[in-house]
Structure 1
Amino acid sequence: MNTLTQALVAQIANQLDAQGEANPLENLRLIAEQFAGKAVFLTNFTLEDQLITHWIATHNLPIKVVVSNPNYPFKETYSTWAKTQERYQLPIAVYAADGSVLENQTQDQATAVASTEENILPILQGEMLLITGTRAGQSWQGRQLTADFSWNKSLKIFEFHPLFHRSFHKVFMEVLREGVPFNPLHNQGYLRVGHAQDTEAAHSSEYWDGRWWWDHAQRIFIHPYTPGVRKKAV
């Protein structure tokens, strides 16, 4: 990292710290202003990604939404994708594994693989910032994240993870509160639903933060407005 890049990372990190961790939407706004027209958000339609998409669309943030190598192992992911576009009418650029632009969604489960550096690089041409829905404790491109904003030496781009400081619980509750479309597989106990390698079932304390158990979580997914259930699960 050169001196200029290091200084910019420090400057923006300080601005984010000043904003605080309590309002990731405001941090996303700040980042969007800093990198207006040069920011790209990579979505796999996970719960976290859906919340960020909601913010981008409803607040008209200057961030390009993209999908890389959309060969998902579950038809429910494509259903979530369709509902997302129907609700937000948000342009989503779709790229194949070789970096070429796709016109439509694809459902070739036989080649379902996670996005790699090779097929992400073409998406980043001309961009300065990559945004993801990764949270602390999760891995991104095979590495554990240590900060919400940093310089990615391998991809040669700044990266920002607005939900880095958020728990799965808080993300989930905001998704319910805002009526954001989410993958119905979450109702069946899946916490991460993206590419095959990203899929993870419940019963992991990393995602539940040790504060609630699956029975209550499932009841909230299916009956989000049942009186008393939310309070009991927090």
Structure 2
Amino acid sequence: MNTLSHGLVTQIANQLDAQGEANPLQNLRLIAEQFAGKAVFLTNFTLEDQLITHWIATHNLPIKVVVSNPNYPFKETYTTWAKTQERYQVPITVYATDGSVLENQPQHPASTTSSFEENLQPILQGEMLLITGTRAGQSWQGRQLTADFSWNKSLKIFEFHPLFHRSFHKVFMEVLREGVPFNPLHNQGYLRVGHAQDIETAHSSEFWDGRWWWEHAQRIFIHPHTPGVRKHAV
């Protein structure tokens, strides 16, 4: 990290600390102002990504939304993608594995299994900040994150993870409360749904330890007048 990068990381990290961890939307807004016109958000239509897309669209944040190498193994992810564009009308730039821009959204799961990180360099040319929905405890580019804002040496770009301090449960509660479209596979016990190598099922204790809250949240936010009846949210 050069001196300029180190200084900027320290400055922004201090600002984020002053803001506190309780309001990731305010932190995202602060970061968007710092890097206006030079920030790109990489979505894979995960639960976390859907919440961030919701914030970007509803608050008109100056952040470009992109998809890289859309080789999702489940058709439900493509359905979520279509619902997201219908709901928010937010421009989503789609990049192929060679870094070229795709004109149309893929409609079916692709057969390739290459990682979406492999071809980020062409996408990030001219950008200064990469935003993802990664939370603490999840891996990003094969490494465990230690901070919400940092300098990525390999990609040579600043990166920010606004939901770093949020639990899966809190993210899900806000998604339900705001009526954000999400992948129906989460109703089937999937914690993380994106590219093939990133899929995480509910064997994780993070999901099952709080299973009661999901039933409760469904009744409150999805079916307030039918207590005891569990239906799919999407």
Same-fold call, TM > 0.5? yes
Shift of 1:216: 5.1
> In structure 2, the residue corresponding to 1:28 is in which secondary structure?
helix
**Which residue does the alignment assign to 2:8?**
8
Match of 1:52 in 2: 52
Looking at structure 2, the residues matched to 10 and 25 of structure 1 have their Cα atoms a distance apart, in angstroms, of 20
Work out the CA distance in 1 between the residues paired with 2:166 and 2:35: 23
**Count of paired positions:** 225
CA distance in 2, matches of 1:221, 1:77: 21
- TM-superposed deviation, 1:113: 3.1
Which residue does 2:85 correspond to in 1?
Answer: 85
Whether the aligned pair in 2 keeps the contact of 1:69 and 1:115 (CA below 8 Å) is yes
Q: CA deviation at 1:19?
A: 0.3
1:114 to partner: Cα distance: 2.5
Q: Look up the match of 1:138.
A: 138
Give the 5 Å matches for 1:13-52: 13-52=13-52
Structure 1, unaligned stretches of length 5 or more?
230-234
Cα pair distance change 1:218/1:113, threshold 3 Å: farther
2:7 is aligned with what amino acid? Answer: A
Establish whether residue 212 from structure 1 lines up as the match of residue 213 from structure 2.
Answer: no
1:160 aligned residue: 160
Cα offset, 1:43, TM superposition: 0.1
Separation in 2, partners of 1:103, 1:115: 18
Secondary structure in structure 2 of the residue aligned to 1:44: coil
Indicate how the Cα distance of structure 1 residues 71 and 115 shifts in structure 2: closer, same or farther if over 3 A, else same: same
What is the CA–CA distance in structure 2 between the aligned matches of 1:180 and 1:212, rounded to whole Å?
21
| TM-score where L is the length of structure 2 | 0.91
Read off the aligned partner of 2:149 and give its amino acid letter. F
Cα deviation, residue 192, structure 1? 0.5
Question: 1:195/1:222 Cα in 2 relative to 1: closer, same or farther (>3 Å)?
Answer: farther
- TM, length-normalised to structure 1: 0.91
Contact 2:75/2:109 (CA < 8 Å) preserved in 1?
no
C-alpha root-mean-square deviation of aligned residues, in Å?
Answer: 1.8
Cα distance, 1:211 vs. partner? 4.6
Secondary structure in structure 1 of the residue aligned to 2:158: strand
TM-superposed CA distance for 1:203, in Å, is 2.8
Please identify runs of 4+ aligned residues in structure 1 that moved more than 3 A. 218-229
CA distance, structure 2, for counterparts of residue 217 and residue 194 of structure 1: 21
